[in-house]
A = this chain, B = another copy of it.
Amino acid sequence: MKFVCSATDISEACQNVQRAASQKATMPAIEGILIRAEEGTVHLTGYDLEVGIKTSVAAKVEEPGAVVINAKYLCEILRKLPSSQVRIEADERMMSSITSGEANFGIKGISPEDYPELPSVTGGYPIEIKQGLLRDMVRQTIFAVSTNETKLVHKGIKVEVADNNIKLIAVDGYRMAIRSEDIDYKGEELSFVVPSKTFSEVVKLINDPEKIINLGIGKRHIVFDVADYQIVSRLLDGEFLNYRTIIEQNNLESSQTTVRFKTREFIDSIERTALVISDRIKTPLKVAFSPGSVRVSTQTDIGSASDRFDAEVGGAALEIGFNNRLLLEAMRACETDEAYMKLNGPVAPAFILPLQGDSFLYLVLPVKMNAAS
């Protein structure tokens, strides 16, 4: 293998592809980047057996061929090349040489035969969505993905696609986040669970919010076409929480207490009051809703804190306890200046909704307050 190409192009491509390369030393090949040179093009692949990222750069290929080079060293070297051009070569024994200006590096490569093949996704249903829209939807749900290893399917984000609508759903044992948007889609109803790590990687490759991402969904895999990159990922199997039942069981239309608030004010009050909550002892925040007013307070070993802001409180007055972090993350994910909170007493889940429509829905379970607080 022997080719010359732009140092900047291959460096940028390798930095991106590298993120799918494995970081653990179980199998040297998957810690590397597969470099495959064909006429006029060099293909680059990173793949840790779960997520794969592929791209290509234009090159003057003098001798086609392939080699796998350790991703970390390759990226560091490419980043520091002195000239705008780089020549990469590998001999039959996979001894690789990287030359640019006066700098030369020699690295022992790995045979491409030792590199795993990426799954192919065929016969999928194509979905198109704007880069910026998918990025926002992921950001506004991914925080609620479970980090608990026991139920693997909840480490992913469920995607439901139906007649001109796409919905992302994330849950852990204490909360739920749903984001819904209109898209152009008239195909079959689809439902699949994408590992949250895959969505993180897709979002990092976004280069223009107005451009389209293509999703191809197969039986066991999904492929994203974003910018000049292709990301292939397995889908997660298993029974995902039935969120519709939960929403139906909690009568949102006629909740006991409905609060209309300014999102920023609620966030500020939680942040301030939580200053006296230590990470070790998770004392709940007490949130008291009364006509015209929301008071947030807590009392811990460190001291006491309270704050208050104006809000439209309809229905029954209520005191309810929350884990400060869960409530804060839901509030921060609201993309609107104002929102509703709908409550059904101190032990029922609290819902956070937009003033109009159903573009998002967050659920946070309350925490029991002890008698003293």
Residues of A in contact with B (beta carbons under 8 Å apart): 70, 73, 76-77, 80-82, 102-108, 268-269, 271-272, 275-276, 302-309
A106 to B106, CA, bound (A): 63
Closest to A265 in B: B82
18 A-B pairs besides A104-B306, A107-B303 with CB distance below 8 A are A73-B276, A73-B303, A80-B271, A81-B272, A82-B268, A82-B272, A82-B307, A102-B308, A102-B309, A103-B305, A104-B304, A105-B275, A105-B276, A105-B303, A106-B303, A106-B304, A106-B305, A107-B276
Chain B residues within 8 Å of A271, by CB: 80
A272 to B81, CA, bound (A): 8
A103 partner, pick from B81, B102, B303, B306, beta carbons under 8 A: B306
Measured CB to CB, the closest approach of chain B to A11, in angstroms, equals 13
Chain B residues within 8 Å of A82, by CB: 268, 272, 307
Whether the Cβ atoms of B103 and A307 lie closer than 8 Å is yes
Closest to A310 in B: B102
Closest to A305 in B: B105
A272 partner, pick from B80, B108, B275, beta carbons under 8 A: B80
Closest to A76 in B: B275
Chain B residues within 8 Å of A103, by CB: 269, 272, 305-307
Name the residue in A81, A268, A271, A302 with the highest tally of chain B Cβ atoms < 10 Å from its Cβ: A302
Chain B residues within 8 Å of A272, by CB: 77, 80-82, 103
Q: With A82-B268, A82-B307 given, is the CB distance from A73 to B275 under 8 Å? A: yes
Closest to A77 in B: B275
A271 to B271, CA, bound (A): 43
Chain B residues within 8 Å of A102, by CB: 307-309
